[in-house]
């Protein structure tokens, strides 16, 4: 905590999630890959060692002074317990290899064990180390894929959309197994020291499925899953649109929603006001080429649009910054938030410091 910060990161985040204004706008740099870059390692080596990941996250927070640790490794790690493989790349997140679940084998699926899986264990070990390092100074954000979105990796997107529309029995059978896995995985991370869980659910966005179908699927699954997760949750739509479903998202019990930049942030704020907090919405792809001025302008614009009254955490649009986002851009974002994000000032005044 610096002299100008009256709150710890955890206090700041909890205050804004309570729809009150903390000392300044909290911000999350969801740079899960950048620890590897800092250490001169490829993602494959970095994510092999939970201690490196913990040290990476602690070091990144110290450097950029953001308000969380991100215990997320990469989305495809959830494929290991289902028998899947992962493709590593030196310049991006590891990705899921071939689909492992097909419609015909859904009825025989069993819920994989979480605690004994060596790959998920690495995440839990890293989370424990982060907790030892950070205590109650800043929240640790764990991640799960929603039961409704996980099949994009399990089955492949096209096959999964066909399943949703054409094979309801198998679809709901898969949802039951996935829900159990998701709840166990989330609760294991909370037990290891995560403060909150980010529930990645891009398929629920109207970008992916029709709004009316969301009510029967993603919403219902969210309600029955998030209610069993023993800690606070944020739902992330990973760049998908949120406005059409914003009135219904709070029914799931989620405290915040990760939003993209294809929708007007002021409209999102008006739609969510007092009911659900916003997490977003800086464009992580454009960020790769931002200079200091562009970063500052983007930060000020987002703060002006959504920070009043709390209920807002500044972050990126997708929940994972590309590895190509340079140090200068992240540093410029941090400086801009610390400079212009103080509460107790009228929107826009922060531009003058």
Interacting residues with other proteins between 38 and 67 (CB under 8 A): none
Residue 288 interacts with other proteins (CB under 8 A): yes or no? yes
User: What is residue 198's DSSP assignment?
Assistant: E
Half-sphere exposure (Cβ direction) of 39: Cα atoms closer than 13 Å: 23
Nearer to other proteins, 164 or 175 (CB): 164
Q: Of 207, 220, 326, 339, which one interacts with other proteins (CB under 8 A)?
A: 207
Nearer to other proteins, 6 or 288 (CB): 288
Q: Of 1, 51, 83, 89, which one interacts with other proteins (CB under 8 A)?
A: 89
Residue 87 interacts with other proteins (CB under 8 A): yes or no? yes
Q: Which spans in the chain are helix H?
A: 9-17, 34-38, 43-46, 50-64, 118-134, 151-155, 157-166, 168-192, 211-216, 218-226, 265-272, 292-306, 327-340
Q: Of 18, 113, 136, 157, which one interacts with other proteins (CB under 8 A)?
A: 157
Nearer to other proteins, 138 or 298 (CB): 298
Angle between helices 265-272 and 292-306 (to 10 degrees): 30
Give Cα 186 distance to the centre of its chain. 13
User: What is residue 325's DSSP assignment?
Assistant: S
**Least gap, CB of 206 to other proteins (angstroms):** 6
Instruction: Spell out the residues 6+ positions from residue 144 whose beta carbon is closer than 8 angstroms to its own.
Output: 78, 182, 185, 186, 189, 197, 198, 199, 200
Binding mask 165-204 for other proteins (x = CB under 8 A): x---------------------------------------
- Contact range with other proteins by CB under 8 A, out of 133-141, 229-237, 281-289, 295-303: 281-289
Residue 324 interacts with other proteins (CB under 8 A): yes or no? yes
**Least gap, CB of 230 to other proteins (angstroms):** 32
DSSP string, 126-165: HHHHHHHHHTTSS-EEEEEE-TTTTHHHHH-HHHHHHHHH
The rounded distance, in Å, linking the Cα atoms of 176 and 100 is 17
Q: Quick check: 182 and 150 in contact, CB under 8 A?
A: yes
For 322-352, give one letter per residue: b (16+ CB within 10 A) or e: bbebeeebbbbbbbbbbbbbbbeeeeeebee
Nearer to other proteins, 65 or 262 (CB): 262
Interacting residues with other proteins between 239 and 268 (CB under 8 A): 239, 241, 244, 261-263
**Least gap, CB of 45 to other proteins (angstroms):** 17
What the block records as the tokens of 230 is 């023993």
Nearer to other proteins, 20 or 89 (CB): 89
Q: Which residues bind other proteins (CB under 8 A)?
A: 87, 89, 91-93, 95-99, 156-158, 161-162, 164-165, 206-211, 213, 239, 241, 244, 261-263, 283-286, 288-289, 317, 322-324
């Amino acid at each position: 905590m610096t002299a100008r910060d009256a709150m710890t990161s955890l206090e700041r985040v909890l205050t804004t999630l309570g729809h009150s204004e903390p000392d300044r706008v909290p911000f999350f740099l969801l740079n899960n890959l950048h620890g590897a870059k800092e250490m001169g390692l490829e993602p494959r080596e970095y994510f092999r060692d939970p201690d490196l990941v913990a040290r990476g996250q602690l070091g990144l927070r110290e450097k950029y002074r953001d308000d969380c640790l991100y215990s997320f490794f990469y989305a495809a790690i959830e494929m290991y317990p289902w028998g899947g493989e992962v493709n590593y790349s030196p310049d991006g997140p590891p990705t899921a290899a071939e689909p492992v679940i097909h419609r015909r084998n859904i009825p025989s699926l069993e819920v994989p064990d979480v605690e004994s899986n060596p790959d998920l264990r690495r995440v839990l070990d890293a989370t424990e180390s982060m907790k030892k390092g950070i205590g109650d100074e800043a929240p640790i954000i764990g991640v799960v894929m929603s039961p409704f979105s996980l099949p994009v990796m399990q089955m492949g997107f096209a096959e999964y959309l066909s399943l949703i529309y054409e094979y309801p029995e198998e679809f709901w059978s898969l949802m039951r197994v996935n829900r159990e896995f998701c709840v166990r995985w989330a609760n294991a991370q909370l037990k290891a020291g995560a403060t909150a869980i980010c529930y990645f659910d891009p398929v629920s966005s109207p970008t992916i499925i029709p709004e009316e179908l969301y009510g029967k699927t993603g919403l219902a699954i969210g309600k029955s899953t998030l209610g069993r997760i023993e800690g606070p949750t944020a739902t992330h739509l990973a760049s998908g649109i949120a406005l059409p479903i914003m009135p219904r998202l709070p029914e799931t019990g989620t405290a915040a929603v990760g939003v993209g930049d294809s929708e007007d942030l002021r409209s999102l704020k008006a739609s969510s006001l007092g009911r659900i907090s916003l997490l977003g919405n800086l464009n992580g792809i454009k960020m790769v080429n931002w200079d200091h001025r562009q970063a500052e302008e983007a930060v000020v614009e987002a703060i002006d649009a959504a920070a009043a009254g709390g209920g807002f955490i500044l972050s990126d649009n997708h929940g994972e910054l590309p590895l190509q986002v340079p140090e200068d851009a992240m540093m410029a974002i941090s400086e801009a938030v610390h400079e212009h994000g103080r509460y107790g000032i009228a929107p826009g005044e922060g531009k003058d410091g």
